[in-house]
């Protein structure tokens, strides 16, 4: 039987939005919203924030959440998540049964159902890494470099992730692109078996990863399979301060 650990990596020194985890969303800091909504996932055994900043640590402790301090030297959130997993998994635990969910710390109104959806994928023993996709419903997002596109094989395994449009539609039909092909948008939440997470954090950055600035390409380039499941969920992450204004329109009940 699997045990599921939800870990939320949280940095204070974001280049585009310093202090983002502590930004006020209504009457709560963002990290509290993420934590409390993640904790509603019925399949998670534990939820924990992983940070390198005492201000975030203190805030999580104040609202009664679990938090661990991690190194300031981690090159990615994945590395921070693995260090936290090492610290929170009890000694003597069968690591083969441990699955780690990497929950983005900038999505305050994450739906806990998608976390449970990811967890259920690990009922299949062959699943090493899992993530989510949704269908695009407009051409604007397909053309945007900030929305990540995914090409899948027949087994719903990722072939490639890109900031570019994949595939390229070589058609002269005067219709919207998303009506010509079922383009897939990546939803940025991952789950990994502990043993796989341990290994992928030792890999060197790959050429494709550097080209696209997408860490998951490192895993694909090294032969790891990323299993994908579909959702209708549309994430609403906060990248810039003005994104909070969008949340006020989408979720007025929380403001």
Rounded CA separation 119/217 (Å): 22
- pTM > 0.85: yes
Beta strand 226-230 pairing with 129-135 = parallel
Share of the chain above pLDDT 90, in %: 90
Top-level CATH class of 3-233?
alpha beta
Phi–psi pair at 246, nearest 5 degrees: -65, -40
9-13, 14-18, 169-173: segment of lowest average pLDDT? 169-173
Helix axes 112-120, 30-38, angle to 10 degrees: 50
What is the predicted pLDDT for the residue at 196?
A: 98
144: pLDDT strictly greater than 80: yes
What is the predicted pLDDT for the residue at 16?
A: 87
Q: Where are the domains of the chain?
A: 3-233
Express each pLDDT in 183-214 by its tens digit. 999 999 999 999 999 999 999 999 999 999 99
């Amino acid at each position: 039987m699997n045990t599921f650990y939800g870990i939320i990596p949280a940095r204070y020194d974001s280049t585009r939005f310093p202090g983002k985890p502590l930004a006020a969303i209504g009457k709560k800091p963002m990290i509290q919203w993420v934590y409390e909504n993640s904790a509603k996932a019925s399949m998670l055994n534990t939820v924990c924030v992983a940070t390198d900043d005492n201000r975030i640590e203190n805030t999580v402790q104040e609202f009664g959440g679990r938090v661990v301090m991690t190194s300031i030297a981690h090159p990615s959130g994945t590395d921070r998540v693995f260090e936290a997993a090492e610290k929170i998994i009890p000694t003597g635990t069968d690591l083969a049964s441990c699955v780690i969910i990497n929950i983005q710390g900038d999505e305050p109104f994450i739906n806990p159902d998608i976390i449970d959806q990811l967890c259920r994928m690990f009922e299949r023993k062959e699943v090493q890494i899992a993530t989510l996709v949704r269908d695009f419903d407009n051409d604007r997002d397909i053309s945007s470099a900030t929305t990540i596109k995914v090409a899948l094989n027949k087994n719903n395994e990722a072939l490639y992730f890109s900031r570019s449009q994949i595939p390229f539609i070589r058609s002269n039909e005067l219709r919207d692109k998303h009506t010509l092909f079922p383009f897939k948008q990546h939803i940025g939440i991952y789950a990994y078996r502990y043993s796989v997470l341990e290994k992928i954090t030792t890999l060197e950055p790959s050429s494709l990863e550097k080209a696209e600035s997408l860490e998951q390409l490192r895993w694909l380039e090294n032969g790891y399979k990323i299993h994908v499941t579909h959702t209708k969920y549309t994430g609403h992450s906060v990248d810039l301060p003005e994104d909070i204004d969008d949340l006020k329109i989408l979720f007025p009940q929380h403001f």
